Amino acid sequence: MNVMAKAEKKISSAFIYFFGSFGGILFGYDIGVMTGALPFLQADWHLENAASLVGWITSAVMFGAIFGGALAGQLSDKFGRRKMILMSAIVFMVFSVLSGVSPDMGEASAYYLIIVRMLLGLAVGAASALVPAYMSEMAPAKARGRLSGLNQMMIVSGMLLSYVVDFLLKDLPGEWAWRLMLGLAAVPALILFLGVLRLPESPRFLLRKGDEAQARKVLSYIRKNPAEIDQELASIKETAKEERQANQKTSWSTLFSDKYRYLVIAGVGVAAFQQFQGANAIFYYIPLIVQKATGQAASSNLMWPIVQGVILVVGSLVYMWIADKFNRRTLLMVGGAVMGLSFILPAVINWMIPNMNPMTIVVFLCIYVAFYSFTWAPLTWVLVGEIFPLAIRGRASGLASSFNWIGSWLVGLIFPIMTASMPQEAVFAIFGIICILGVIFVKTCVPETRGHTLEEIEEQGTNHGRVKASNPEN
């Protein structure tokens, strides 16, 4: 036991934060890998004219993630954050390999891959829910903003990694290219599994299970001041007590009572708009978008995903720099306005100048990704983490996550169907209108959370509910 304790004490806070957030790499890799694999898969399985099957193969992961996040959240309360992250890594490894070895059975192959990717989505959804929860419970309060940026950095780094892997494998024979692209997702999952084996359990979970001695030991790895450890233990105990009381008094209907409806609509609405604005249409289909715009084969356009990935990484660094310098609403509205114009302007220019350079739309998509990367991409989850009062936080956060994954799934599913039936510029113009509607939504329905305590934010929602109740015509 003493030997184990000494070994555990060698764990540095940097190691804990790195591997605690490394699950974001898995999330990001699987978002990005299909971008490069899809052109080769389409050619190998002759799916060029099967838009609905292509949409399902691409979006199946997001469909599984809808359920994976909710399931992992409940199981992690029973078994612990660390064990569920380990389980997610195993599931991710298994189904990544099974994706890469998909049998060639004609149309049945597509259905096999859809089912396997749905099961893979369980792990993706679990990672997206477990990593932020683990990080928020391990990080000191003063570092939570930066560490939320670290999670975003891991996600976009995973996307960039998948784009680079796709590019490096593009000259292999078509069948080998897409199989290796999908199968190599098992490598970061293995790294995550080996790293998390050495991670301690969350002190919050340990306290909930009554193991205060182990919780204190874990906090000693990541907190320097003994007085700070005592204060945090007391705070965790008090918060856990309040949450138990809150959960006993609330139900799903509580979310839509006059007291909480305003904040629930704000948080869930922002989470939904983030996906319905069409970002994943770019991330999943950029080679096909360039192919349709220029006539060049999608498999020869795999440099463009790397360009998008670099923009995303730079944008996440910009966000970490400006996160606490500007109001949340300001960044969301400016970002949404530029994103909307980036989608709408190509359609307007194409209408005014029918022979415009086909790469114009790709340039505007890069502008969209740049503004998305430091506004809606990270701020959605910062705002969702701040806006829900304690009494409804668990249920409301789960609802927001579900709507976000539903939006991601639908965009991935319907984009190839839409582009098969109408001009690409028109499809993006529709997403542009949704971006503008998102700006209006933030302006009219979302309170400012920067610089406010959680209690002050809750009071804003309560006061808004009282005003609405007393002035129903408003």
Is residue 242 in a domain? no
Q: What's the pTM?
A: 0.81
Query: What is d(CA 22, CA 243) in angstroms, rounded to the nearest whole number?
Result: 28
Domain identity same for 457 and 325: yes
CATH code for position 82: 1.20.1250.20
Domain residues for 142?
Answer: 12-199
Domain identity same for 348 and 440: yes
Q: Find the mean pLDDT for residues 38-44.
A: 88
Query: What is d(CA 65, CA 92) in angstroms, rounded to the nearest whole number?
Result: 12
Residues 93-116 pLDDT 10s: 999 999 999 988 777 889 999 999
Instruction: Say what the pLDDT of residue 469 is.
Output: 45
Residues 119-152 pLDDT 10s: 999 998 888 778 877 877 777 766 666 666 677 8
CA 247 to each of CA 204, 206, 250, 386, 388: distance values in angstroms, whole numbers, following the listed order:
17, 19, 5, 18, 14
Question: Residue 97 is encoded by which pair of tokens?
Answer: 């390999």
Q: Find the mean pLDDT for residues 427-447.
A: 95
Residues 262-315 pLDDT 10s: 888 999 999 999 999 999 889 888 888 888 777 777 666 788 889 999 999 999
How many beta carbons lie within 10 A of that of residue 252, not counting itself? 10
Q: How many domains does the chain have?
A: 2
Is residue 216 in a domain? no
**435 band by pLDDT with thresholds 50, 70 and 90:** very high
Yes or no: say if 151 and 62 are a contact pair by the CB < 8 Å rule. no
Question: Of 155, 171, 199, which residue is a domain's last?
Answer: 199
Is residue 241 in a domain? no
Helices (H) and strands (E) counted in the chain, each on its own, are: 21, 0
CA 86 to each of CA 82, 192, 193, 274: distance values in angstroms, whole numbers, following the listed order:
6, 8, 6, 29
Closest C-alpha among 338, 365, 363 to residue 436:
338
Domain identity same for 467 and 383: yes
Is residue 65 in a domain? yes
Is residue 305 in a domain? yes
Residues 198-209 pLDDT 10s: 888 888 888 878
Residues 79-90 pLDDT 10s: 888 899 999 999
Yes or no: say if 73 and 128 are a contact pair by the CB < 8 Å rule. no
pLDDT mean across residues, the chain = 84
- 139 burial (CB, 10 Å; 0-12 / 13-18 / 19+) is buried
| Interior angle at CA 278, CA 256 and CA 428, nearest 5 | 130
Question: Of 160, 176, 199, which residue is a domain's last?
Answer: 199
Q: Find the mean pLDDT for residues 239-246.
A: 68
Query: What is d(CA 315, CA 318) in angstroms, rounded to the nearest whole number?
Result: 5
Lowest mean pLDDT among 143-152, 210-219, 265-274, 364-373: 143-152
Instruction: Say what the pLDDT of residue 8 is.
Output: 45
Domain identity same for 356 and 430: yes
Is residue 423 in a domain? yes
